[in-house]
């Protein structure tokens, strides 16, 4: 049995970031790509700017993907072969965690001991891998859940499936093992403690940020020309994956109520839906289009595919109101990005949206999911657009990825120092000693 090494304290030199089920290179707004992808990309770039190298391990979903991609200076994406490249749903990935873990351990084994100073896992699948890497390398495990099964199951949308028991158990295990749990908001930290028995002393609140250079106020008329919207339109915007959890149907019903209450609005109203079917939404990908037809609003609704960041900023700037009616959000980066562009937000008063949106200052929070309440909230925003636009910019300015990165570095350092002070037990490997194969270095 190899001796366990003492963890390094202080600022890490190199971080192993784990993102099993979705790649930071994927386009947010489709498939499993969303706010977590943005988080990993932006946080990794800021860590690299502080001289910390980041290796991001993610599952390869195509045989055409190169094994290694430099995402940006100091940030490397490593595509891991674990199971079939295509056609493997997220719910099938637990069966591939052994293969994924083996690839991560083999990569570290190609280097001198102590190559990685910390493991940062994102989502529970990655936490399972990180738990083993932590024990193998004697380095701290930092875990960000992004979403929690027990919280999602408490607020299921109509037509959505509950999260399976296997995920609940997996999350409980990771929460128990992680050296630090990173929560997006105070409420998420309380949920980790209340629902999962997390240690409050190891549960830190680190809000995500927003790219204030990319998402910033601009010329609305120019933005509307760029996306093909009339200059005098009243634009309501939805951005996100098309699935029951995100509740885009609430916006469509609200738009129908606005037209019923004021038929003269039809010549100006435009509803833009930016995103693609995902999750349970893949079971009925045409459902929103059918709803639009049934509501008689096909002439005012335009569907856009997921947009790259610069183009997405134009959609935010072109909108009068961004609507985020989700049944649950761990934070709600869409709301923050919209506000950074000066666009007020109408959002559900759930989860992290209560932090991302300041009610009455940067937008309006709505209790429940009654479309009439959303129609009322939209009218409220439109009655004071300049005031809420200024409030939206101020509120978004409180969040930045640099602050997020600084807090993560502090969390890495404190976890390493705590581990260095605490005697680490030697945990026997259940599968016995490893044997070297020709040309293969045995993992330590």
Residue 196 annotated in ligand binding: no
Residue 58 annotated in ligand binding: no
Q: Per the structure block, which two tokens stand in for 170?
A: 């997996």
User: How far is 405 from 144, CA to CA, in rounded Å?
Assistant: 13
Q: To which residue do tokens 């509501």 refer? A: 295
Number of other CB atoms surrounding residue 283 within 10 Å: 12
Residue 36 annotated in ligand binding: yes
Residue 147 annotated in ligand binding: yes
User: How far is 193 from 60, CA to CA, in rounded Å?
Assistant: 34
Q: Provide the edge-to-edge strand list for the sheet that holds 321-324.
A: 301-304, 269-274, 234-239, 321-324, 345-348, 363-366
Residue 27 annotated in ligand binding: yes
Residue 343 annotated in ligand binding: yes
Residue 11 annotated in ligand binding: no
Alpha helical stretches, state H, 6-87: 35-49
Residue 241 annotated in ligand binding: yes
Residue 123 annotated in ligand binding: yes
Residue 339 annotated in ligand binding: no
Burial of 282 from C-beta contacts in 10 A (0-12 / 13-18 / 19+): middle
What angle (nearest 5°) sits at the alpha carbon of residue 379, between those of residues 234 and 245?
A: 85
Residue 167 annotated in ligand binding: yes
Q: Per the structure block, which two tokens stand in for 375?
A: 């129609």
What angle (nearest 5°) sits at the alpha carbon of residue 396, between those of residues 392 and 398?
A: 130
Residue 243 annotated in ligand binding: no
Helices 124-137 and 97-109: angle between axes, nearest 10 degrees = 40
User: How far is 239 from 276, CA to CA, in rounded Å?
Assistant: 9
Residue 337 annotated in ligand binding: yes
Residues in the chain: 444
| Dihedral sign from CA coordinates of 230, 236, 240, 242 | negative
Number of other CB atoms surrounding residue 193 within 10 Å: 16
| CB-based contacts of 297, cutoff 8 Å, min separation 6 | 252, 255, 256, 259, 271
Listed residue (338, 437, 333) closest to 381, CA to CA: 338
Cα 345 from chain centre: 19
Say if strands 75-80 and 68-72 run parallel, antiparallel, or are unpaired: antiparallel
Residue 154 annotated in ligand binding: no
User: How far is 12 from 102, CA to CA, in rounded Å?
Assistant: 23
Q: Which residue numbers belong to the known binding site?
A: 21, 27-28, 32-37, 90, 123, 147, 167, 241, 246, 307, 316-317, 319, 329, 337, 343
Q: Which residue numbers belong to the known binding site for UDP-N-acetyl-alpha-D-glucosamine?
A: 27-28, 35, 241, 246, 307, 329, 337
Q: Which residue numbers belong to the known binding site for 1D-myo-inositol 3-phosphate?
A: 21, 32-37, 90, 123, 147, 167
Q: Which residue numbers belong to the known binding site for Mg(2+)?
A: 316-317, 319, 343
């Amino acid at each position: 049995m190899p001796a366990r090494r003492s963890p390094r304290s202080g600022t890490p030199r190199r971080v192993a970031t784990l993102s099993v089920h979705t790649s930071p290179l994927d386009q947010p707004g489709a498939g499993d790509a969303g706010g977590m992808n943005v988080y990993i990309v932006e946080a990794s770039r800021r860590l690299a700017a502080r001289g910390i190298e980041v290796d991001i391990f993610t599952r390869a979903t195509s045989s055409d993907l190169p094994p290694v991609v430099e995402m940006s200076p100091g940030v490397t994406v490593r595509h891991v072969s674990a199971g079939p490249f295509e056609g493997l749903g997220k719910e099938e990935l637990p069966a591939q965690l052994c293969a994924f873990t083996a690839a991560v351990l083999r990569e570290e084994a190609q280097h001198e001991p102590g190559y990685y100073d910390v493991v940062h896992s994102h989502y529970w699948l990655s936490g399972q891998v990180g738990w083993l890497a932590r024990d193998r390398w004697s380095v701290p495990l930092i875990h960000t859940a992004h979403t929690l099964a027990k919280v999602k199951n408490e607020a299921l949308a109509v037509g959505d499936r509950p999260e399976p028991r296997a995920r609940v158990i997996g999350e409980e295990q990771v929460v128990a093992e992680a050296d630090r749990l990173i929560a997006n908001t105070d409420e998420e930290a309380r949920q980790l403690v209340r629902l999962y028995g997390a240690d409050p002393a190891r549960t830190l609140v680190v809000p995500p940020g927003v790219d204030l250079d990319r998402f910033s106020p601009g010329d609305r008329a120019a933005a509307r020309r760029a996306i093909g919207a009339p200059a005098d339109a009243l634009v309501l915007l939805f951005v996100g994956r098309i699935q029951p959890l995100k509740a885009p149907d609430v916006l469509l019903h609200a738009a129908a109520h606005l037209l019923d209450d004021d038929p003269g609005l039809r010549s100006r109203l435009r509803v833009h839906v930016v995103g693609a079917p995902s999750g349970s939404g893949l079971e009925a990908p045409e459902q929103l289009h059918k709803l639009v037809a049934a509501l008689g609003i096909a002439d005012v609704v335009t569907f856009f595919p997921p947009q790259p960041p610069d183009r997405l900023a134009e959609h935010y700037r072109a909108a009068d109101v961004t609507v985020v009616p989700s049944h649950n959000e761990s934070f709600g980066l869409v709301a923050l990005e919209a506000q950074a562009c000066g666009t007020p937000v109408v959002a559900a008063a759930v989860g992290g949206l209560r932090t991302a949106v300041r009610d009455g200052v940067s937008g309006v929070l709505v209790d429940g999911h009654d479309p009439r309440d959303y129609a009322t909230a939209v009218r409220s925003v439109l009655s004071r657009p300049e005031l809420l636009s200024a409030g939206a910019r101020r509120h978004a300015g409180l969040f930045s990825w640099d602050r997020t990165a600084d807090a993560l570095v502090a969390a890495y350092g404190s976890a390493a120092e705590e581990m260095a002070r605490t005697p680490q037990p030697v945990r026997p490997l259940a599968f016995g000693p490893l044997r070297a194969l020709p040309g293969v270095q045995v993992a330590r």
